[in-house]
Each structure stands twice: as C-alpha cells, then as structure tokens.
C-alpha cells in the first residue's frame, strides 16, 4: 500500500511555511504536499512537492487529495484579524468556506484527520482578560474572531455527529523571523525586531501597556505536531484548545530588545489595531491542553528575543 500523505493548505504563510518544513523533516519531503493560492514564498515552493490550490474550491482540494493519496490536512489558509476588518465579507467567505470543504471531505472519508487553527480572537471584551479559561464567555467583535468562533462550533459538531477527527488550537500571536506575518493585530511583535536591527527604532501601532498573549514559532509548531500525534481519545476538547506561552506589552518587548541593543527606541502611535487588541485577553489559562496532551512551551521572552534578533540579523546580512 502507498504511504498516506499530508497536505498543508496555505503553506506559503507565516505558520504554514515553518510547519511544512518541520513536517517534512519528520515524515519525509515527498510525504508532505505544500499548497497555496500563489507561489509568493519561493523558498517554500522550491523546497518540495507544491500545488497551487484555492482553499475556497472543494474540487481543488478534493483533486489534490486524490492525486497525492492525502490522509491528513492542515488548513492554514485564512484572512487574519487586521485584514479581515478591511474586507469583512471576504474574510467570512475564505475562513468559513475552506473549513466546511475540509470538514466535509473528512466526513465523506476522503481524509481521516484534520488540523485547523483557531485563535485568541475568539474572545471578546466581555471575556475575563487575565488567565482566560478554556470555557468562558466568548463574544468576539471582529469578523476574524466570529469566523474562528463559528469554526470551533462546526469542528465540535462534525466531531460529535460525524466522527470527524479534527484537532484545533487557539494560537496566540505568533512570533517568527523566517516568514513575515500576514495581516494580524500582533504583527507589531515581529516588525519590532526587524526595525530594531535595521533602524534601531520602532513606532508601535499597539499602545505601550497593552498586553497580549504571544508564542515563539518553534513552540507553535511543536504544539501543532504534538496535538496531531496524541491518540484521538486523549483529545477531550473537540472545539479548540487554549494555548499559551508568554504575554507581554510593547514596552516589555522593547525593554527585552534594549538588553541587546541599548540604543533601541520605541514610540507609540496606536491605530485601528489597538481597538482590536483591547478586546482580546492579556493572558491565557492553557491548563487543559497541558493536562490532556502534555503541552508545554520552551521559549520565554528572553530566549525568544535572543533567537529573534539573531535570526532577523542573519536575514539582513544575506540580502
């Protein structure tokens, strides 16, 4: 029998690109098919099997699954929070249509396992802000948050009613240096490292003391690989797991950078993304994920800052 394979949809993006390379190192380059609607990430496109695919097209996804004997799908294509506020209907369409297609393909037994990421954006202004629990009030006010909340409900519904094996994590803001973020509210926490290396100053679009939950990319990828590898019966939460690593404000991350670049300066000019940030939690209680599938993070602010500065500096010297 031919080996079953994995498909990543939205593989050119911030998380998809690093997830693809991790899965390829674990399962073999030819067993992990990357796909995206465009070929903008050349490194990723040239790193192994790649297909152009529109996540809004059921037949595109189904044809790719059949062509490559795909067993597991990671659906990483989405429109993120800040861009979603500019194009609410497009965000709704992409984020919900693509999830429906993948869940239906699992229901129809074309694939046997699905990963779909949710976000801290499922929470809203009425949610407890500190140590936000797994089960709590969820009244998101962004279209992105609404698509993630409705997605979580559908994941649980397909699991309970059709036996679909779908696993999900509520990612916090993801910090990485290899690929730039794609239009989220937490993008400042990546931009700040690039500007610190290039210009030794940064104007933050998030206010000085607004804390948000964040996570270094390696931890996010580890969590994604781990949750997909535990036995199905250990996955007790069929909607999406809270996941946490660090929480910081722009001032705190600037202070951490200043330990390495003392002349670095930060100024603040909050824009519309500040209005999104203040509706989200400051910190997340992820004890259920830690209990159910042994989640633990490796990167604190200091370790993350060190790796980010080195990584971004290495990009600058290779340009």
Residue nearest to ligand NAD (CB): 13
32, 65, 73, 78: which one binds ligand NAD (CB under 6 A): 78
Q: Which of residues 275-304 bind ligand NAD (CB under 6 A)?
A: none
Among 6, 14, 204, 242, binds ligand NAD (CB under 6 A): 14
Q: Residues 38-77 vs ligand NAD: string with x where CB under 6 A?
A: x--------------xxxx-------------------xx
Site string for ligand NAD, 188-227 (x = CB under 6 A): ----------------------------------------
Q: Taking Cα atoms as reference points, which of 128, 60, 142, 131 lies closest to residue 95?
A: 142
Residue carrying the six token digits 């519904």:
157
Q: Is 36 in the site for ligand NAD (CB under 6 A)?
A: yes
Which residues are known catalytic residues? 144
| Least distance from ligand NAD to the Cβ atom of residue 79, Å | 7
- From 37, 45, 138, 313, residue interacting with ligand NAD (rule: CB under 6 A): 37
Contact 36, 52 (CB under 8 A): yes
Whichever of 240 and 305 has its CB closer to ligand NAD, that residue is 240
For ligand NAD, the closer CB: 15 or 289 = 15
Kindly tell me which residue out of 5, 6, 7, 13 binds ligand NAD, with binding defined by CB under 6 A.
13
Stretch in the footprint of ligand NAD (CB under 6 A) among 105-113, 166-174, 192-200, 271-279? 166-174
- 250 interacts with ligand NAD by CB under 6 A: no
Task: Report the C-alpha gap between 116 and 133 in whole angstroms.
Answer: 20
Assign 3-class secondary structure to the chain: CCCCEEEEECCCCHHHHHHHHHHHHHHCHHHEEEEECCCCCHHHHCCCCEEECCCCCHHHHHHHHHHHCEEEEEECCCCCHHHHHHCHHHHHHHHHHHHHHHHHHHHCCCCCEEECCEEHHHCCCCCCCCCECCCCCCCCCCHHHHHHHHHHHHHHHHHHHHCCCEECEEECEEECCCCCCCCCHHHHHHHHHHHHHHCCEEEECCCCCCCEEEEEHHHHHHHHHHHHHCCHHHCCCCCCEECCCEEECHHHHHHHHHCCCCCCEEEECCCHHHHHHCCCCCCECCHHHHHHHCCCCCCCHHHHHHHHHHHHHHHHHHC
Question: By CB under 6 A, is residue 186 in contact with ligand NAD?
Answer: yes
Choice between 117 and 266, CB closer to ligand NAD: 117
User: What phi and psi values does residue 209 have, to the nearest 5 degrees?
Assistant: -110, 20
Q: Does 34 bind ligand NAD (CB under 6 A)?
A: no
Nearer to ligand NAD, 36 or 286 (CB): 36
Shortest distance, CB of residue 231 to ligand NAD, whole angstroms? 24
Instruction: Based on the shown chain and the rule CB under 6 A, indicate whether residue 149 belongs to the binding site for ligand NAD.
Output: no
The 92-111 site mask, x for binding ligand NAD (CB under 6 A), equals --x-----------------
Binding ligand NAD by CB under 6 A: which of 72, 119, 168, 242?
A: 119
Sign of CA dihedral 192, 178, 224, 256: negative
**Interacting residues with ligand NAD (CB under 6 A):** 9-10, 12-16, 36-38, 53-56, 76-78, 80, 94, 117, 119, 171, 173-174, 181-184, 186
């Amino acid at each position: 029998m031919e080996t079953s394979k994995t498909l990543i949809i939205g593989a050119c993006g911030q998380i998809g690109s690093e997830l693809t390379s991790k899965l390829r190192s674990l399962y073999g380059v030819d067993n992990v098919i990357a796909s995206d609607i465009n070929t903008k990430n050349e490194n990723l496109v040239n790193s192994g099997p790649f297909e152009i695919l529109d996540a809004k097209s059921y037949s595109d996804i189904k044809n790719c699954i059949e062509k490559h004997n795909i067993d597991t799908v990671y659906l990483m294509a989405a429109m993120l929070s800040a861009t979603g506020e500019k194009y609410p209907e497009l965000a709704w369409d992409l984020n919900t249509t693509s999830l429906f297609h993948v869940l239906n393909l699992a229901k129809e037994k074309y694939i046997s396992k699905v990963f779909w990421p949710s976000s801290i954006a499922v929470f809203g202004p009425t949610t407890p802000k500190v140590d936000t629990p797994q089960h709590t009030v969820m009244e998101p006010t962004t279209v992105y948050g609404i698509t993630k909340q409705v997605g979580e409900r559908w994941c649980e519904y397909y699991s309970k009613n059709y036996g679909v094996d779908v696993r999900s994590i509520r990612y916090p803001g993801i910090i990485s240096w290899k690929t730039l973020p794609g239009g989220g509210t937490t993008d400042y926490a990546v931009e700040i490292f690039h500007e610190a290396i290039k210009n030794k100053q940064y104007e933050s679009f998030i206010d000085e003391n607004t804390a948000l939950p964040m996570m270094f990319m390696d931890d996010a990828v580890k969590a994604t690989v781990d949750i997909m590898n535990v036995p199905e019966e250990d996955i007790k939460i069929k909607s999406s797991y809270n996941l946490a690593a660090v929480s910081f404000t722009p001032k705190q991350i600037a202070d951490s950078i200043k330990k390495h670049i003392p002349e670095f300066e930060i100024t603040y000019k909050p824009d519309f993304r500040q209005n999104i940030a203040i509706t989200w939690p400051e910190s997340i209680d992820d004890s259920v994920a830690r209990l159910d599938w042994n989640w633990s993070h490796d990167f604190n602010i200091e370790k993350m800052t060190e790796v980010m500065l080195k990584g971004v500096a290495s990009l600058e010297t290779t340009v």
